[in-house]
Structure 1
């Protein structure tokens, strides 16, 4: 088995399903993956990657997103998540870049976000959750009907999707060096392409 296959999307999905029973948490992982993978594609294009190099980068972005919260259901406390999961990933031999990005997506871990992947995961995590919430209050429950102005308006409504940290969304776009409106639009488009998988 090649390293790519051993630490590929199917293995990440299998681990996610093993540790996470909640359908909404599994869908959250897929939503974050949609956004992170789209940024991975853009980065691969920017770097002019092709063939195995491109595949390797896209695999890294995809698996990191799928596994960022895989331990959350079993270990939701700040003392344990994502540290327990990262220790398990290290034990299994998952790449250090993936583990570092997962640590970095939790502000309280103290792990700096240095790489593009680190910043993308942080920027997409809370936003993917917020966009899902925005879609689910639409009569159609469809991500296709979510628009940037309404997302911005709902971000100001503190009663809506209270669990989503707005500051992380704003800070994430800033760290990535992307305009917030453009970041929201980019993630909506990415999620629209995976709407069937996300149930949106």
Structure 2
């Protein structure tokens, strides 16, 4: 089992992902997962959780129709931990014939966090407020409004929350707190 440093993983991300939004999305998800490992699930490896979030969409730009199959192959070839591989595979539940449900806290957290970061980003574009200052009730209202950030798959967020054992309100509040350093 091997993992790159944060710097190495960031260089890998930049080699495969050129879109600035996708890079920011990766950092948002990584930061949120690291927050979960540090504050909600003590004993989990914050570095593993951060890198899982940072690299979860590594192949999306280059292989959108088969994502995340190519990156799963790379991760296996690079001898990345099975926990990372499983989480990346489970985050694609329901897409491109992926049927793997999250079996770990890391996988559930990635599933719950990935799409929700998109709602946070869209909300901030509409209301220039810092992440840590966003009102969870306002974000939940946007979550329920399927016309807002319409491409966000709310069902996967709810499925992730269910497997993580956290309700949506608490998850939104956690993400607001965890993403605050990105302001």
With normalisation by structure 2, the TM-score equals 0.91
TM-superposed CA distance for 1:156, in Å, is 2.1
- Give the number of the structure whose residues are more often helix, by fraction: 1
- With over 3 angstroms needed to count, the CA separation of the structure-2 counterparts of 1:134 and 1:110, relative to structure 1, is same
Matching of residues 43-58 of structure 1 within 5 Å: 43=40, 45=42, 47=43, 57-58=45-46
**Structure 2, unpaired ranges of 5+:** none
Q: Out of 48, 52, 59, which is 1:71 matched to?
A: 59
Contact 1:135 1:145 in 2 (8 A): no
**Structure 1, unpaired ranges of 5+:** 48-53, 196-200
Q: What SS does the aligned partner of 1:36 have?
A: helix
Contact 2:32 2:113 in 1 (8 A): yes
**Is 1:173 aligned with 2:170?**
no
Q: For the residues of structure 2 that align with 1:119 and 1:44, how far apart are their CA atoms? A: 12
**Is 1:94 aligned with 2:80?**
yes
Q: How many residues align?
A: 180
Task: Please give the per-residue CA displacement for 1:64-97, whole angstroms capped at 9, x wherever unaligned.
Answer: 11000011001111xx100011111212222221
Matching of residues 1-200 of structure 1 within 5 Å: 7-43=4-40, 45=42, 47=43, 57-77=45-65, 80-108=66-94, 109-138=98-127, 140-195=128-183
TM-superposed CA distance for 1:116, in Å, is 1.0
Q: What SS does the aligned partner of 1:75 have?
A: coil
Contact 1:38 1:190 in 2 (8 A): yes
TM-superposed CA distance for 1:43, in Å, is 4.8
Contact 2:131 2:182 in 1 (8 A): no
Q: What SS does the aligned partner of 1:153 have?
A: helix
Contact 1:120 1:176 in 2 (8 A): yes
Q: CA RMSD in A?
A: 1.7
- With over 3 angstroms needed to count, the CA separation of the structure-2 counterparts of 1:159 and 1:44, relative to structure 1, is closer
